Chain A
Amino acid sequence: MTRRLPRSLALILMLAMAAPVLSGCWDQVEIEDRALVLGLSIDKVSAKEAEKGDEVTHIHDDHLPAEMISVTAQIAVPGRVPLGPGSGGGNPGDDKTSPVWVVSVRGISLDDAMNNLQQQIADPRYLVHLRIIIISEDIARGNLEELNDYLRRNPEIRRRTWLLVSEGKASDFMDVNPPLQRVPTLYILSMMEKSVSSGKFPRDYIGTFWSADTKWGQSAYLPYVALRNRDNILIKGLAYFSGGRMVNKTDPIEIGGFMALKGIDPGGYSTLFHTNKMGIVMTKINERFTRTRSYIKDGKPFLSYQVFLEADLDEHYGSNIPVDSSAKLQEIERDFEEQVRSILTGLVKQTQKDHSDIFGMGEMIRSHHPAYWKEHIHDKDDWESLYSSTEVDIQMKLHIRRVGLKDQ
């Protein structure tokens, strides 16, 4: 025992010598000293205003692109969001107690803009809690390469961040003041998350977007949102991409169509339609299931979709005929199938016209017919042009399970 002591002492001495080397706390930044960016919005700046750059990252240089973007960040203000549930909280709408600080900056690239932002605020900014990025339609229709590069490279960005395309100016979304949540971005976030769980929208994080964007046999899509009444946010459709640029958008009901074709559960859309005999009927889809097959016919890809839907009868009016037998339900189903099938075919036709395979049909061909794929496809563009001539067959089967509490 006594022999061991000196050696241990030597060890402790060595550790003590190592201590100054190790002491540092380099990365220690207290949470209240971090400017946590919760949301970002990115707009295009018109060429006229673009002259006034802050030049934080560069001296004027003609080789850099002349176009600029305007970035609006929502930063959480420590102390404004009280700890614990419902302790006062102040009245929303009062600008002085707003829990977020909205800062607007300009820059050539997103990184440039973020550096300009840092120049304007005291605390180091952190993107670790960035949950929502909203880009305006102009940006989405332009080149997203720079944006994607920065976001992919930055380890602070989560792959589960939502990237939204806005109708009109994206910065307006940073100013919304919803009464349900103290922090506007978190409201948008919970809205998107809940729309996923209630079947209103597919799980389409920025990571999913990137994955789809890199795949040769698939095109990417993003949620398309719009503002209503200044404070309300509407999911207005899918903004779909071709060749890395946004080409078009769908209607809200077509999101349901898209999810039906992909077989994404749970069902969340209701369809209001006019039946031939039964007046106006509304059905709510509960479950979706899709069987997909791919063939090569005459040297051309051919896909067949069989969509099975399960639904409840939600509403029925404008007709005296009661819905009281399975024969009548079948009649409703038939009318539904016919009408919705046309919606789906319309959606496919529209995306084919825009060369945007958001359904991932190419992936299906790639994995099931590798030989054909190898021969014809050498590039993402190859598929996107081939996609428009692909034949798609859609079969539809609706099954109404319940009719609610009302008899007849």
Chain B
Amino acid sequence: MQAWKDKYTAYVHKQQQASPPEPDKSPLTGNLQADLQALQARLGDNGDLVVRDFQLFGAHQAVMLFFSSLVNTEQVREHVLKPLMAGPTGHKEIPEHMAGMIHYIWSTAVQVTQGTTTTDISVLPDAAVKGELILLIEGVPEALVLDMRQIDMRGVEQPQTEQVIRGPREGYVEKLENNLSLLRYRLQSTDFRIEISPIGTRTQSRVALCYIESIADSGLVAEAMRRISMIDTDGILDAGYIEQFIEDQPLSPFPQVQCTERPDKTVAALLEGRVAMLVDGSPFAVIVPALFNQFFQTVDDYTERFIMGSLIRIIRLIALSFSLFFPALYVSVISFNPELMPTEFAVAISGGRAGVPFPAVLEVLIMEVSMEVLREATIRLPQMIGGALSIVGVLVIGQAAVGAGLASPITVVIVALTTIGSFATPAYNAAIALRMLRFPLIILAGMFGLYGVMIGTILILNHLLFLESFGVPYMSPFIPGKWRDLKDTLVRVPLWWMRRRPSFLHAQNNDRLSRNVPAVHVDQILRQEGEPSEQSPADHNAARSRRHQ
């Protein structure tokens, strides 16, 4: 395995050279070295590609080629490699001519249920990424393709931190091979690249960098590689370590990478042109660049129909602003601008606060801090106790605080809303940023009222506007503002309307849907089917299946 520095220089070097045009269809030559090189050129550099050369029946040069992440290596050894490597003594009827070799191997040697032969080299890469094993023999212009696909799914469980209502239930596990096979299983494309190299002078943790070659911006990939190659540490124990080494602004409260446990989310990000990083031993993938969008977007938005998805997004955004602004606004209205409340309510609130000894700022701060303490305690506890404690905490302590005159009932309502609001933010690392930022806002509100809140908000917004993640403005696509990209922000338009990839990622290939597929709704296609149309049914199917990508 190369070190990341070499990979980086190799990648940049490769990008500078114009890649040769790929031949469309070419037959196998029978020259093992030439065929192998042609095949590897098409598959690109991949960390999980296994190329195993061996002596077929002790006599002929042969090469076996497969993706370790899609194939059970144990079975390959038992049912393919073992019989093939057996010496000539075990096989008495080995044909004299190489022409009959493939047929002989298929009928007598390998113990595999499905397989084909082909003479066309162009179908081989696709076969490989589907989880098939390719066998090439010196002197034979034909390849044996054996179906050995077995996705390693041992121990795959539902992701804990990102649960969805509708959508895949698989999450990453600690083993890198498992995680890569989860990715390969969803993204069966020859363009999908996985680069693996160890980082950490002592732990030698393997780090995998995944991207889709024909989509991801080469500048972005190179930048990611450069940053990874700069990492100099003795141990990488989790993807979080990588995050802290490669982020743009370590001092910012906002996460500049996206963390996910979900392979489907990773694949979606890759398809948009992002880059993902996985670490052996960590059930998290790190996706860059990450934007402000991650604060209120989940997988459910895409699996559910678009109107519902959009509405729920807006609700999440409201929850998000709750968790940030509510306590600060409450403090400034109570202590500075009571004229904003309806008169009756103002009179009633002043009654509710009548016995409370602290000013509103202090009261809210105390309640918010104790809420955070409570939340932190519940995370560390076993799940059963945790649930019980949170109920005790919220109900009993809140009630008691009001009863003892420590807090007014409205404050308890506000604090509860804030906490619930922060739970509605999908990404944990993003939610925590907002939760912590509300404390300075409360203090500013206590000092300057609404003006303070406003100044704080301007500072936060400015920071967000100045922030960049891997060269992409953090507030994209609101800034720099392209109408096209706003389709997937506050609302999510139908999938068939999102014809382009987000432009701020500078993807090489911008079209999500192929250009000649009309953007019409499915029922329009169905209606057309009854009528005589120029399109053949196969085209319809193709159009529909593309839409379901």
Contact = CB atoms under 8 A, between A and B. Distances in A.
Direct chain A–B contact by Cβ atoms under 8 Å: yes
Interface residues of A, number: 35
A83 B343 contact: no
Contact of B350 (A4, A32, A186): A32
Nearest to B410: A83
Interface string B388-427: 0000000000000000000001100000000000000000
A399 B292 CA distance: 62
Nearest to A126: B338
Contact of B349 (A23, A83, A158): A83
B347 A183 contact: yes
A30 interface: yes
Contacts of B311: none
B527 to A, nearest CB: 49
Interface stretch (B155-163, B353-361, B464-472): B353-361
Contacts of B197: none
A86 interface: no
Given A29-B335, A31-B353, A76 B446 contact: no
Nearest to B342: A129
Contacts of A318: none
B447 A36 contact: no
A82 B351 contact: yes
Contacts of B347: 36, 38, 76, 78, 81, 99, 129, 183
B349 A31 contact: yes
Interface in A128-161: 128-129, 131, 156, 158
Given A34-B338, A83-B409, A28 B348 contact: no
A24 B338 contact: no
B442 to A, nearest CB: 12
B351 A79 contact: yes
A34 B350 contact: yes
- Which interface residue of A4, A30, A36, A80 has the most chain B CB atoms within 10 A? A30
B93 interface: no
A129 B352 contact: no
A405 interface: no
A30 B360 contact: yes
B334 interface: yes
A8 B251 contact: yes
B346 interface: yes
A128 B339 contact: yes
Interface residues of B, number: 28
Nearest to A8: B251
B250 interface: yes
Given A28-B449, A31-B350, A129 B360 contact: no
A66 interface: no
A36 B446 contact: no
Interface string B111-148: 00000000000000000000000000000000000000
Contacts of B410: 83
Interface in A66-108: 76, 78-84, 99
A22 interface: yes
A183 B251 CA distance: 53
B338 A81 contact: no
A186 B348 contact: no
B447 A81 contact: no
Given A22-B447, A23-B447, A24-B447, A36 B354 contact: no
A25 interface: yes
B336 interface: yes
A78 B251 contact: no
A128 B338 contact: yes
A320 to B, nearest CB: 52
B22 interface: no
A138 B458 CA distance: 52
B523 interface: no
B376 interface: no
A158 B360 CA distance: 25
B24 interface: no
A36 B346 contact: yes
A371 to B, nearest CB: 45
Contacts of B356: 32
A11 B348 CA distance: 44
Given A8-B251, A23-B447, A38-B343, A28 B336 contact: yes
Contacts of B446: 25, 28
A56 to B, nearest CB: 25
A30 B447 contact: no
A49 interface: no
A5 to B, nearest CB: 8
B19 to A, nearest CB: 34
B230 to A, nearest CB: 10
A36 B336 contact: no
B194 to A, nearest CB: 27
B96 interface: no
Contacts of B74: none
Contacts of A407: none
Contacts of B250: 1
A158 B338 CA distance: 13
B348 A31 contact: no
B344 interface: yes
A27 interface: yes
Contacts of B350: 31-32, 34, 36, 76, 78-79
A24 B452 CA distance: 12
B463 to A, nearest CB: 12
Nearest to B356: A32
A84 B446 CA distance: 26
Nearest to A4: B251
B359 A28 contact: yes
B351 A81 contact: yes
Given A31-B346, A129-B339, A129-B346, A25 B447 contact: yes
Nearest to A156: B339
A231 B360 CA distance: 38
B204 to A, nearest CB: 24
Contacts of A36: 338, 346-347, 350
Nearest to B445: A28
B354 A78 contact: yes
Contacts of B361: 25, 28
A27 B348 CA distance: 22
A378 B469 CA distance: 67
Interface in B300-357: 334-336, 338-339, 343-344, 346-356
A28 B343 contact: no
A29 B339 CA distance: 13
A31 B335 contact: yes
Given A129-B343, A186-B343, A30 B348 contact: no
Given A78-B354, A81-B348, 17 more contacts: A5-B251, A28-B335, A28-B361, A30-B335, A31-B334, A31-B335, A31-B338, A32-B351, A32-B354, A32-B356, A36-B338, A76-B346, A83-B410, A99-B347, A129-B343, A129-B346, A186-B343
21 contacts: A8-B251, A25-B361, A27-B336, A28-B359, A30-B334, A31-B338, A31-B349, A32-B356, A34-B338, A36-B338, A36-B346, A36-B350, A38-B347, A78-B351, A81-B347, A82-B348, A82-B351, A83-B409, A126-B338, A186-B343, A189-B343
Q: Which 5 residue pairs are nearest across A and B when measured between Cβ atoms?
A: A128-B339, A79-B354, A78-B350, A83-B352, A78-B354
